[in-house]
Amino acid sequence: MRKHTPGQSKARKVYAHCNPFNDVPYNFPTSPASMDWSQHFAQHTKDHPNVPLQVSFVDIGCGFGNLLLQLAKLWPNRCGVGMEIRQKAAEITRGRLEQLRKEYNDSHTDNQQLHHYRNVSVIRTNVMKYISHYFEKQSLDVMFFCFPDPHFKKSNHRRRIITTALLDYYAYLLKTNGLIYNITDVKDLYEWTVAQFEKHPLFERLTETELKDTNINRVVQLITNETDEAQRVTRNGGQKYVCVYRKKNIV
């Protein structure tokens, strides 16, 4: 057996599953008004002193931050946050962001292939319990739920991140016409998710024609083909099921 020696980093095992109903302590703001986003976007705020800081998109269950990093480059003028319940996964994502920012700062070049990654951050939290503590009503443009934990057992379906009850919270946080992108490689979960949306009065599914819109299609292609998780499914010969929903304009 290989022994760990001082100064040598241990391999960190990151579990794929986490029970959102476990009683685990989290640091979270008492209300959106008390959330200090400048801690997460300090340099971005300095670079744009006359632009109010507004988080525009959130990646729920961001894992190791692959999609978050892609979105940072796709939407350089927007701020976004990844939210992850697993502490080690959040730490890895935070470390990746810090390293990429350092590489950008050290480059001293106008290389267009490099991005500063100052417009995204990550928070370790339990979305089911605390998401409404972070964002104001109707403040988000886009939410992502990509390859969420399927919680296969019927007794655990209540742990799924998209339910009709949770959609009440997401509808509260999304702007009118705001979008939710969802992708999974589990057909049962896909059908469940569609059923949850269809039962909710504030969401409507985008049509195939609407999905061909250049901006929307670019995001769909991103979550379908360009993240590590999506590529893993492709390598394993799996199927990917995508649905995009819009918050209705209710007068």
pLDDT at residue 7, rounded to an integer: 41
What DSSP element (H or E) covers 146? strand 140-146
- The stretches in the chain having pLDDT less than 50 are 1-11
141 is catalytic: no
Dihedral of the alpha carbons of 68, 157, 189, 122, in degrees to the nearest 10: 0
26, 20 Cβ separation under 8 angstroms: no
pLDDT at residue 19, rounded to an integer: 74
pLDDT at residue 6, rounded to an integer: 41
Does the pTM surpass 0.85? The reply is yes
pLDDT at residue 4, rounded to an integer: 37
For 34, counting Cβ atoms within 10 Å of its Cβ (0-12 exposed, 13-18 middle, 19+ buried), the class is exposed
Say which amino acid occupies 133: H
Residues found in the chain: 251
Q: Of 85, 244, 245, which Cα lies nearest the Cα of 161?
A: 85
Two structure tokens written together for 152:
């296969």
Which residue bears the tokens 């024609």?
209
DSSP character for 131? Answer: G
- The 10s digit of each residue's pLDDT in 18-39 is 777 677 778 899 999 999 998 9
Query: How far from each other are the two terminal CA atoms of the chain, in whole angstroms?
Result: 66
Q: What share of the chain is helix, strand, coil (3-state, %, to 5)?
A: 40, 20, 40
Q: Are strands 203-205 and 241-247 parallel, antiparallel or unpaired?
A: antiparallel
Q: Using CA atoms, how far apart are residues 251 and 245, in angstroms rounded to an integer?
A: 18
3-class secondary structure per residue, 11-65: CCCCCCCCCCCCCCCCCCCCCHHHCCHHHCCHHHHHHCCCCCCCEEEEEECCCCC
Instruction: Compute CA 31 distance to the chain's CA centroid, rounded to the nearest angstrom.
Output: 20
Q: Are strands 55-60 and 140-146 parallel, antiparallel or unpaired?
A: parallel
Q: Active site residue: 36, 59, 141, 149, which one?
A: 149
pLDDT at residue 51, rounded to an integer: 81
Helices and strands: H and E segment counts in the chain: 9, 7
